[in-house]
Amino acid sequence: MGKHDTFHEFRSHPWHGLKVGPKPPGQVFAYIEITPFDLMKYELDKDTGFMMVDRPQLYSSLPPSLYGFVPRTYCGTEVGRLMSGASGGDGDPLDICVLSERPISRGDILIKVNVVGGIPMLDDGQADDKIIGVLANDAVWNGVQDISELPAPLILRLSHYFATYKSKPGAPTSAIVRDAYGRQHAERVIRAAMLDYEHEFGKHD
């Protein structure tokens, strides 16, 4: 194999053209859409692979961590089966929150993540899990193996964000956030999302 054999003439689609990760389900890639500094909600346009403005962040709540998705995952039937009360998955790639000790202030980047847990969320009755991970080789967080080793206020902050980020004053919210789960269940969710992706789009090398 030559040193340029992995070179792509054209940029890979962030959802379909990248690998799930170096060692899934324990270590995955995260494509970052928004950061804790973004006043706009950016989201990948699934057809083109370009980042688009989804909406302004309506209220003062900002994402407490890097936020994006795991490539080549899909939240469908298998993901839905893992969450009590879910009618299925939400039909999107699997969301992931990533902790980093040093501020990362730009999105549209790919990072390597060690999975430590997740937050179960029902949105309009569909499973919308938020996997939680730490930046691989991070100077502070790299040694964390499970969500139980993270500060409780940090998990509470993440849970509160997802419970309220779509809320409108005086209107009921469609999101139900439950207690966080550990690494073992997070890896089950990732495996299920990988399987859902294969069912939806076919298997890729």
pLDDT at 164: 84
Q: Is the pLDDT of residue 123 over 60?
A: yes
φ, ψ of residue 157 to 5 degrees: the values are -65, -45
pLDDT at 1: 45
Q: Looking at the domain 27-200, which fold is it? A: Inorganic Pyrophosphatase (3.90.80)
Q: Is the pLDDT of residue 205 over 80?
A: no
Question: How much of the chain, in percent, has pLDDT values that exceed 90?
Answer: 79
User: Is 161 in contact with 195 (CB distance < 8 Å)?
Assistant: no
Domain ranges for the chain: 27-200
Report strand pairing: 126-127 vs 121-123: antiparallel
Task: Identify the CA nearest to 112 among candidates 126, 128, 96.
Answer: 96
User: Is 185 in contact with 130 (CB distance < 8 Å)?
Assistant: no
Question: How much of the chain, in percent, has pLDDT values that exceed 70?
Answer: 92
pTM of the model: 0.93
Task: Kindly report which listed range (8-17, 81-90, 170-179) carries the lowest average pLDDT score.
Answer: 170-179
Higher pLDDT, 50 or 204: 50
Average pLDDT estimate for 40-61: 85
Q: Is the pLDDT of residue 6 over 90?
A: no
Which residues, 6 or more positions from 126, have their beta carbon under 8 angstroms from its beta carbon? 75, 80, 86, 87, 88, 89, 90, 91
Average pLDDT estimate for 119-124: 95
| Stated length of the chain | 205
What does 63-130 look like in DSSP terms, one character per residue? -SSEEEE-TT---SHHHHHTSTT-SSB-SSPPEEEEE-SS-----SEEEEEEEEEEE-EEETTEE--E
pLDDT digit string, tens, across residues 125-139? 999 999 999 999 999
